[in-house]
Amino acid sequence: MRKKIFALALSILAIAALAKAAKSGLISIDGSSTVYPITEAVAEEFQKAEKGKTNVTVGISGTGGGFKKFCAGETDISDASRPIKPSEVEACRKNGIEYIELPVAYDGLAVMVNPKNTWVEHMTVKELKKLWEPQAQRKIMKWNRIRAGWPDKEIHLFGPGVDSGTFDYFTEAIVGKAQASRGDFTASEDDNVLVQGIATDALALGFFGVAYYEHNKDKLRLVPIDDQNDENGKGPQEPTYDNVLRGAYQPLSRPIFIYVSKKAAAKPEVERFVRFYLKNGAQLSREVGYIALPAKAYELATKRFDKRMTGSVFSGVKVGVKIEELLKKEGR
């Protein structure tokens, strides 16, 4: 009997010791599926550099979903493809969560069709609005309703769901009001589902971050967008690196962010991660297909993190932020 008790106690001690040893640092990140490719790339490199001392988990609940968890104190960092909303600012304030807003890259929101689609060579912002506004629900169902001369065939629409920052941004930029969209399309926060949907359907049209296009170039075709504003560059523009950088791809160019909880930043592994992110963000965001901010922007972001400056300078800002304005805001 005594032997049994001794063996049991020993095994409990062993398990406890193992558990303590296995308890490495854990950073939990959730949010935008648009920012996900960059954060995931950074996390991979970071975990390699840390040699397994720290684990980083990255979820894709969508920008809105990520903020809900972030403001409830469940995550350390929130990926966001749009600035934090006033209602989310309030939710964080209520729970005592202070956040440090850090832009990490620039995204050109891409509109895509299937390669077999032979009739679309460009679209105007007005046409996109006609297609996606709430009044289009059940009315604009065929291609020839958007533009005469296009086929009399059904449109199959694909886009991010209501928890997605990409959805918020697209509706605000195209329709004029965030979340104002028709409801009869395939909505998914998982961009890979959207890629699959558009790539296998000749009548499909959809929108999501340009990085997902970069990785599926053979399955999708980009639609150049014309905002009919010659100041931004004449005619239809594609979301190429240069077009986004010089502000020609409007109104669908936008900065994407990470929001770091001030409380979490006190943890040494989180601080190391954020610094690693800002240091390598430029190169890694280019690798995954996004547009890196100018080096100065990353410097300013790092300074912001050093000083632990909380609050948002982008919240409520007008759509169509160009890189210069972004830099100006950072300096404040």
| Contact window for another protein (CB under 8 A) among 190-198, 251-259, 279-287, 321-329 | 190-198
Task: Show the site string, 11-50: x = touches another protein by CB under 8 A, - = not.
Answer: ----------------------------------------
| Secondary structure of residue 280 in the 3-state scheme | helix
Distance (Å, rounded) from C-alpha 299 to C-alpha 163? 31
Residue from the set 161, 209, 247, 251 that interacts with another protein by CB under 8 A: 161
Closest CA to 117 of 87, 146, 143: 143
The enclosing H or E element of 59 equals none
Residue from the set 160, 165, 197, 255 that interacts with another protein by CB under 8 A: 197
Total of residues contacting another protein (CB under 8 A): 35
Residue from the set 89, 112, 120, 204 that interacts with another protein by CB under 8 A: 204
Answer yes or no: are the C-beta atoms of 273 and 261 closer than 8 Å. no
| Contact window for another protein (CB under 8 A) among 57-65, 120-128, 208-216, 306-314 | 57-65
Give phi and psi for 73, each to the nearest 5.
80, 15
Does the footprint of another protein cover residue 187 (CB under 8 A)?
A: yes
Give phi and psi for 209, each to the nearest 5.
-60, 145
- Strand runs (DSSP E) across the chain, as ranges? 25-31, 54-58, 77-80, 99-113, 123-124, 156-159, 186-187, 204-209, 221-222, 225-226, 253-261
Residue placing its CB nearer to another protein in the complex, 86 or 235? 86
Residue from the set 99, 143, 185, 208 that interacts with another protein by CB under 8 A: 185
Task: Show the site string, 66-85: x = touches another protein by CB under 8 A, - = not.
Answer: --xx----------------
Tell me the two tokens of residue 215.
């990785």
Residue from the set 47, 124, 137, 216 that interacts with another protein by CB under 8 A: 137
Instruction: Tell me how far, at minimum, the Cβ of 321 lies from another protein, in Å.
Output: 24
The amino acid present at 215, given as its one-letter code, is H
Distance (Å, rounded) from C-alpha 239 to C-alpha 218? 17
Does the footprint of another protein cover residue 188 (CB under 8 A)?
A: yes
Distance (Å, rounded) from C-alpha 171 to C-alpha 184? 15
The enclosing H or E element of 183 equals none
The residue ranges that bind another protein (CB under 8 A) are 61-62, 64-65, 68-69, 134, 137-138, 154, 156-157, 161-163, 179-189, 193, 196-201, 203-204
